C-alpha cells in the first residue's frame, strides 16, 4: 500500500519516544492507528474517548513523555473535552490528534463537521490543522515542543480525513484519478480542475523523503541570585513551611533527586497532588494534617509549584506576617491571590535542588516548630483512628481504608476518583514513593479513574495499581473494565459503595433538608465488572476485608482486572467539606 500521512505521524510518535496511543476507532483516524502500530506503538482502544485522553494524561504525568490520544471527528473530539481541560489545569504534556471532515468539504454539511479549533482553543496551548502532507513533520514536532515547554499543557492537532489517507485513494474519492474525460460540461471540467489542483496541493511532497528529526532538549535555567535570596529568607525564618504541588513533578526523572533535596533542606513540608509520595510513606519532615493551622502560624511559606487558589483559601490561609516565596513556571500563578516576598519564575524541582545545594544544614531553631506540627499531626491522626473504630451500617469507610493502607505493598500506585470516599482516602492512604498517587486535580474532575489506572499500569507494569472509586464516580468509567480485560491490564478497583453522592448530600441535606438527586443504589458493581470479563468481589463485613484483599491481589497477579464492591456506612468525618 502507498505510504500515507498516518504512517508519517506514526514515525514522529516513535521518534519522540511514544509507546502508547490511546483511541476509540473512527474512519477519520484509521491511518493514524495503523501507522502507529507499524512503528511498534501499542494502540489501546477504549470505550469512551474521554478515557483515552485521561489515559494519555496519566502517561504524560508519570513519564514526562507527552501522552498521545487520537479521536475521531465531531463527537469524538467533543467527548474528549473534559479530559482535555483537566490536562490543561494539571499542566500535563499531552497531544490530542483529532479527525476532521475533508478539507474541500469543510462547512458544507459533511459528516461530523464542526468548528473544532474554535471549540478547543481556550483549553489547549495550541490548536492547529494539518492541511498538506508537507507540513506533517513540522506540525507534529512543534506540537511535542509546545506541549512540554514553559507551562506544559495539551496541544490539539486536527487531521482532515483527505490528508490522512493514501494519495491514490483520495484521488478516487474526489474522482480526479483519470483526469477530465471527454464530453464533460464546462461546470464539470471546472470542478475537476479545482479538485485535481486541491489534491495536488495536499500531496505536494514525496512521503518517501519525509524523515522526522531529532527531539529538541528543553533547558531549565535557575537564577542563582534568587536562589541566594531564598536561602537568606529560609535561614532567617523561625517557623518555615513548604508546600510542594504537582508542578514540581513535571520532571519525573528528577523525582528521587528532588526528594533528597527536600529532605536535606529540613523545612517541614506538605505535599499535594502529584507530589504526594515524594518523601515516601513516612518522613519526619512530612506533615499530613492540619495544614491551615501550620500556615496561620508560619513566618515563611514556600509555595513550590502550587498556585494560591481555593485550596489555600485564596491567600487567607496565611498569617498576616508571613513572607512568601513563590516558585512556579507560570507568571500568572506566581502571584495569584498573594503578594510574594520573592517570586521566582522557574521549574520548582530545579529550583529546590539548587536551593538545597546552597542552603546550610537545617536550623536547630526550627526544632520546637517541628515538634508543634508533629503534635498537630498526631492529634488529627488520633481522631482518624477513633472515628475508624465507630460502628456504622455496613463497613466503616475509615477502617476499610486503614486496612488497605496496611495491606498495600511498596510497589502500589494509587489512582483516586471520587468525592467523599476519596476525600477520606486522602487522609488515610500513604503513597509509597514518588509518582504513586494520581487524583483528579484542581479541576475536581470525576471520571478520571479508569483512564488514569489504564495509563498507570501500562507505564508501570510491575506495580500494583489500586483504583479507589467512589460509587458515584465509578459510574463514569466502569465500562473500561472491558478495556482492561481486552488489553490484559490487571488493575484492582475498590468501590466505596454508600449508595449516594455523599459529599454533596452532607451539605445539601443540612442546608435544605432535601436529598434530591443525591441518592443512589447499592448497585452490584462487582457483577458489572464480571460482566465485562473481570473478577468481582462483594465485601460487606470487617472479618472479610483481609481475605478479599488477598484474593483480589492473587487474581490481579494472575492477569485479571478486579473490582471489590465494598458496602460502606456513613460517618461525619468530612462534614462541611464543600469547596468553592
Average pLDDT over residues 56-72: 98
Considering only residues 112 and 324, tell me which one the structure prediction assigns the higher pLDDT.
324
Name the one residue in this structure whose C-alpha cell is 458544507.
108
Residue 32 has pLDDT above 80, yes or no: yes
Considering only residues 541 and 108, tell me which one the structure prediction assigns the higher pLDDT.
541
Region 224-370: CATH code: 3.40.50.1220
Band of residue 1 on the pLDDT scale cut at 50, 70, 90: low
* 312-356 pLDDT, tens digit each: 999 999 998 999 999 999 999 999 999 999 999 999 999 999 999
Q: What is the distance between the alpha carbons of residues 231 and 558, in angstroms, rounded to a whole number?
A: 51
Fold of 389-567: Rossmann fold (3.40.50)
pLDDT number for residue 578: 62
Neighbouring C-beta atoms of residue 208, cutoff 10 Å: 7
Grid coordinates representing 18 are: 511514544
3-class secondary-structure state, position 392: coil
pLDDT number for residue 73: 96
Name every residue whose Cβ is closer than 8 Å to that of residue 494 and which is 6 or more positions away in sequence.
404, 466, 467, 468, 469, 563, 564, 566
* 467-512 pLDDT, tens digit each: 999 999 999 999 999 999 999 999 999 999 999 999 899 889 999 9
Neighbouring C-beta atoms of residue 371, cutoff 10 Å: 10
Average pLDDT over residues 349-369: 88
Name the one residue in this structure whose C-alpha cell is 528543553.
218
pLDDT number for residue 189: 76
- Which residue from 12, 30, 18, 35 is spatially nearest to 138, judged by alpha carbons? 12
Name every residue whose Cβ is closer than 8 Å to that of residue 501 and which is 6 or more positions away in sequence.
419, 472, 517, 518, 519, 520
pLDDT number for residue 64: 95
CATH 3.40.50.970 fits 5-209, yes or no: yes
pTM listed for this prediction: 0.95
Q: Are the C-beta atoms of 72 and 29 separated by less than 8 Å?
A: yes
All CATH 3.40.50.970 domain ranges in the chain, comma separated: 5-209, 389-567
pLDDT number for residue 177: 53
Name every residue whose Cβ is closer than 8 Å to that of residue 114 and which is 6 or more positions away in sequence.
73, 74, 77, 78
Query: If you average pLDDT over every residue of the chain, what do you get?
Result: 93
* 298-308 pLDDT, tens digit each: 999 999 999 99
Q: What is the distance between the alpha carbons of residues 437 and 272, in angstroms, rounded to a whole number?
A: 10
Q: What is the distance between the alpha carbons of residues 452 and 416, in angstroms, rounded to a whole number?
A: 9
pLDDT number for residue 210: 86
pLDDT number for residue 180: 44
Residue 178 has pLDDT above 50, yes or no: no
pLDDT number for residue 113: 84
Q: What is the distance between the alpha carbons of residues 211 and 215, in angstroms, rounded to a whole number?
A: 13
Amino acid at each position: 500500500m502507498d505510504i500515507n500521512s498516518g504512517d508519517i505521524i506514526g514515525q514522529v510518535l516513535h521518534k519522540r519516544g511514544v509507546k502508547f496511543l490511546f483511541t476509540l476507532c473512527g474512519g477519520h483516524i484509521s491511518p493514524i492507528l495503523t501507522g502507529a502500530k507499524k512503528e511498534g506503538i501499542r494502540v489501546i482502544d477504549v470505550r469512551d474517548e474521554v478515557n483515552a485522553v485521561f489515559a494519555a494524561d496519566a502517561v504524560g504525568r508519570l513519564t514526562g513523555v507527552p501522552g498521545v490520544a487520537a479521536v475521531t471527528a465531531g463527537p469524538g473530539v467533543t467527548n474528549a473535552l473534559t479530559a482535555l481541560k483537566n490536562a490543561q489545569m494539571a499542566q500535563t504534556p499531552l497531544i490530542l490528534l483529532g479527525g476532521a471532515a475533508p478539507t474541500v468539504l469543510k462547512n458544507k454539511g459533511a459528516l461530523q463537521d464542526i468548528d473544532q479549533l474554535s471549540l478547543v482553543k481556550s483549553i489547549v496551548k495550541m490548536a492547529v490543522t494539518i492541511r498538506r502532507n508537507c507540513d506533517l513533520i513540522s506540525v507534529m514536532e512543534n506540537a511535542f515542543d509546545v506541549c512540554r515547554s514553559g507551562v506544559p499543557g495539551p496541544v490539539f492537532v486536527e487531521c482532515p480525513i483527505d490528508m490522512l489517507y493514501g494519495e491514490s485513494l483520495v484521488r478516487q474519492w474526489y474522482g480526479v484519478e483519470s483526469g477530465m474525460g471527454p464530453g464533460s460540461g464546462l461546470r464539470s471540467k471546472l470542478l475537476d480542475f479545482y479538485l485535481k489542483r486541491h489534491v495536488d496541493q495536499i500531496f505536494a511532497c514525496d512521503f518517501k523523503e519525509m524523515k522526522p528529526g531529532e527531539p529538541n532538549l528543553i533547558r531549565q535555567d535557575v537564577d542563582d541570585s534568587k536562589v541566594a535570596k531564598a536561602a537568606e529568607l529560609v535561614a532567617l525564618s523561625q517557623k518555615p513551611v513548604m508546600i510542594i504541588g504537582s508542578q514540581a513533578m513535571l520532571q519525573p526523572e528528577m523525582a528521587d533527586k528532588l526528594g533528597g533535596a527536600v529532605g536535606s533542606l529540613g523545612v517541614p513540608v506538605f505535599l499535594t497532588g502529584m507530589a504526594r509520595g515524594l518523601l515516601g510513606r513516612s518522613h519526619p519532615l512530612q506533615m499530613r494534617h492540619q495544614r491551615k493551622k501550620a500556615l496561620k502560624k508560619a513566618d515563611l511559606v514556600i509555595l513550590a509549584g502550587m498556585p494560591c487558589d481555593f485550596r489555600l483559601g485564596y491567600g487567607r490561609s496565611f498569617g498576616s506576617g508571613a513572607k512568601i516565596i513563590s516558585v512556579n513556571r507560570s507568571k500568572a500563578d506566581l502571584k495569584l491571590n498573594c503578594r510574594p516576598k520573592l517570586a521566582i519564575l522557574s521549574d520548582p524541582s530545579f529550583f529546590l535542588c539548587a536551593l538545597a545545594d546552597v542552603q546550610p544544614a537545617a536550623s536547630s531553631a526550627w526544632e520546637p516548630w517541628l515538634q508543634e506540627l508533629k503534635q498537630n499531626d498526631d492529634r488529627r491522626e488520633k481522631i482518624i483512628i477513633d472515628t475508624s473504630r465507630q460502628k456504622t451500617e455496613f463497613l466503616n469507610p475509615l477502617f476499610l481504608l486503614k486496612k488497605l493502607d496496611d495491606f498495600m505493598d511498596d510497589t502500589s500506585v494509587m489512582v483516586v476518583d471520587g468525592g467523599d470516599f476519596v476525600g477520606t482516602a486522602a487522609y488515610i492512604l500513604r503513597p509509597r514513593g514518588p509518582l504513586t498517587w494520581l487524583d483528579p486535580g484542581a479541576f475536581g474532575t470525576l471520571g478520571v479513574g479508569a483512564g488514569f489506572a489504564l495509563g498507570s499500569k501500562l507505564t508501570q507494569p510491575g506495580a500494583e495499581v489500586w483504583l479507589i472509586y467512589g460509587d458515584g464516580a465509578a459510574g463514569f468509567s466502569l465500562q473500561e473494565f472491558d478495556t482492561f480485560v481486552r488489553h490484559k491490564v490487571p488493575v484492582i478497583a475498590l468501590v466505596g459503595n454508600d449508595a449516594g453522592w455523599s459529599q454533596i448530600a452532607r451539605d445539601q441535606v443540612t442546608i435544605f433538608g432535601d436529598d434530591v438527586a443525591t441518592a443512589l443504589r447499592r448497585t452490584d458493581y462487582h457483577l458489572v465488572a464480571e460482566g465485562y470479563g473481570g473478577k468481582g468481589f462483594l465485601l460487606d463485613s470487617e472479618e472479610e476485608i483481609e481475605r478479599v484483599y488477598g484474593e483480589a491481589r492473587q487474581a490481579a497477579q494472575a492477569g485479571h482486572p478486579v473490582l471489590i464492591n465494598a458496602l460502606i456506612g456513613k460517618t461525619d468525618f468530612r462534614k462541611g467539606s464543600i469547596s468553592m
